[in-house]
Amino acid sequence: MREGGKGGLGDKRRFFGFIAAIIAIGFGGSSLLAFFAARGAVRATIEGESLPAAADSIYAQIRTELVKPVFASSMMAHDTFLHDWSASGESDLGAIENYLGEIVRRNGALTAFFVSERTKRYYYADGVLKTVREDEERDAWYYRVRGMKQDYELNVDIDMAHRDMLTIFVNYRVIDRRGRFVGAAGIGISASTLRDMILRYRSELSTSIYFVDSKGKIVAGAPYGREAAPPAALGSDPMLDMPAEKALATHGGSFRYAHAGETVLTRALWLPELSWFVFVEKAEGGSVALARKALYLNIALCALVLLLVLAASALTINRFQSRLEQSASHDPLTGALNRLSFGAMAEHEIKAARRSGGGVSAVIFDIDDFKRVNDELGHPAGDAVLVRVTESAARAIRSSDMLCRWGGEEFLALLPDCDLEAAALIAEKIRASVLAGTSVDCPCPVSVSAGVASIDTAAIRAGEPEPASIFGELVDRADRALLEAKRSGKDRTATA
């Protein structure tokens, strides 16, 4: 039995879009807020704890490494041997060579030196290196030491005696008993100590360390991501312009800059002993990896929840829509089509029949003595009889036919592509099916009377009359046939 198609309830896309937007904004917003909060906490920890601790540790280690050479240089400056040897005319070259060689061996230094104010000779463990001159740029350190007020200085310079190796020198002023400047003495240690610290921190803490002089020149190490080809100075890398300018202006601080798609967190610390900055850098990417992973998981969960909610909403809406459509087009008690929807569908079938030139028949049937069922057994029993009659009639008609509860205990079936003779046979099948169906598990067996009418649409001129009037005429003729069946004794079929 055909009962008609299902229509839409409205624009579902707009509703689903609204639901998706709410869920996406809720889940996505909370996930992003959580990610930004976690990233902010990671940044605060790195900038406030990790990088300063690393910078302070490097500073402390440098000072520790320098304590021993400073002490050894102080001992040299106050050693009577050095004073007496210088005062005796500096004639015994072997004595000063042995003395400086012993200083190197005893302190594990790279070099030990003495520059005489009287002769301007630069002595080291292998003899005389050179004679310092005031007009020589590489000797400017000596004249600076001679004129300074403090006892010593730390100077990072190249060592001519060791193939211009970068060396940290302790330059100590030598003063005799009368307070006269005798010269400068001290030792030099290799700057490889700095490289060892750089490598160790990079390995242990995934932290990049480099040292920068007061003019912005990188003297050891490399900024983050530039280990393979470090820039010569901060200013030669556009990404480092801002942190370099701020660090040199404020003598240190915390900064951020972008490199290769990552945010690099930087801490700069001024080292007064070396007149250098130490830059400690760490990319935040690895530290926020867990937060980023949590964000991706939340987004995936959001997508899953969104799909489940949309699926559940679609099922719920389709179910309620089906119920609404069912209630709008079907009789709530029997489930057959109601009169309004049946009339519209019947007119459509008549139009189709007129185009194809086929016939259309109608069977209207009524339950015999139905008032007696209600009066004697009650309305619940009458409702049960109506349901059973509908089910029995639906089994008797074809799948292309339509069944309607026309009113009260009266039913109407429309039979497309069916002539009068075939319609009468279907009406008999309905009558027999109802009688058999109400004899089993029903308050009482009932019979029906049926009237059959048919219209040959091929005989009707196109455009005259309207399908509604044709359908009305068909039902009226079938109804007159039903009255004839009732007058003839009921429980029978009559044709118009």
Segment 317-358, tens digit of pLDDT: 777 766 666 666 788 899 899 888 898 888 888 888 888 877
The overall pTM is greater than 0.75: no
Determine the pLDDT at residue 325. 65
pLDDT digits (tens, 9 = 90+) for 481-494: 999 999 999 999 99
- CATH 3.30.450.20 domain range(s) in the chain: 78-190
CA 423 remoteness from chain centre: 66
Which of the four pLDDT bands, split at 50, 70 and 90, describes residue 230?
A: confident
The segment with the largest mean pLDDT, out of 50-54, 66-70, 398-402, 464-468, is 398-402
Pick the CATH number of 78-190 from 3.40.50.300, 3.30.450.20, 3.40.630.30, 3.20.20.70: 3.30.450.20
Top CATH class, 339-495: alpha beta
Query: What is the location of CATH 3.30.70.270 in the chain?
Result: 339-495
Distance, in Å, from the CA atom of 383 to the CA atom of 389, rounded to the nearest integer, reads: 10
According to DSSP, the β-strands at 448-456 and 493-495 are parallel
Average pLDDT, the chain: 83
Phi–psi pair at 209, nearest 5 degrees:
-130, 135
* Better pLDDT: 487 or 464: 487
Give the pLDDT band of residue 386 (cuts 50, 70, 90): very high
Alpha-carbon span 89 to 116, nearest angstrom? 10
Average pLDDT over residues 378-390: 91
Whether residue 2 has pLDDT greater than 70: no
Q: Which of 6-15, 96-105, 107-116, 295-304 has the lowest mean pLDDT?
A: 6-15
Judged on CB neighbours under 10 Å (0-12, 13-18, 19+), 5 is: exposed
Q: Is the pLDDT of residue 144 over 90?
A: yes
CB-CB contact of 377 with 494 (8 Å): no
Extract the tokens encoding 121: 């000779």
Q: Report pLDDT digits (tens) over 3-55.
A: 444 444 456 777 777 777 787 777 777 777 776 776 777 667 766 777 777 77
Q: What is the per-residue pLDDT for 414?
A: 94
Residue found by looking up tokens 């079929």 in the block: 493
